[in-house]
Amino acid sequence: MVPKLLLAFALMAACVVIHAGCVTITLRWSREQAALATVQWRRVLLFVRLAAWIIAFHLLEIGVWAAAYWWTGALEHLQSSIYFSAVTYTTTGYGDVVLPLEWRLLGGVEALTGILMCGWSTGFFFAVVSRLEGLGRSHAPETRS
Distance CA 113, CA 18 (A): 12
pLDDT digits (tens, 9 = 90+) for 102-122: 999 999 999 999 999 999 999
What percent of the chain has a predicted confidence (pLDDT) above 70? 91
Work out the average pLDDT over 129-134: 79
- Considering the segment(s) 2-133 as one domain, its CATH architecture is Orthogonal Bundle (1.10)
Picking from 2, 3, 4, the residue whose alpha carbon sits closest to that of residue 104 is 4
pLDDT of amino acid 129: 84
Which stretches within 35-103 are classed as H helix? 40-72, 78-89
Residue 11 and residue 106 in contact, taking contact as beta carbons nearer than 8 Å: yes
pLDDT of amino acid 132: 78
Its pTM stands at 0.84
HSE, CB side, 13 Å, CA atoms: give it for residue 64.
Answer: 23
The whole-chain average pLDDT of the chain stands at: 89
pLDDT of amino acid 140: 46
Q: Does residue 144 have a pLDDT over 70?
A: no
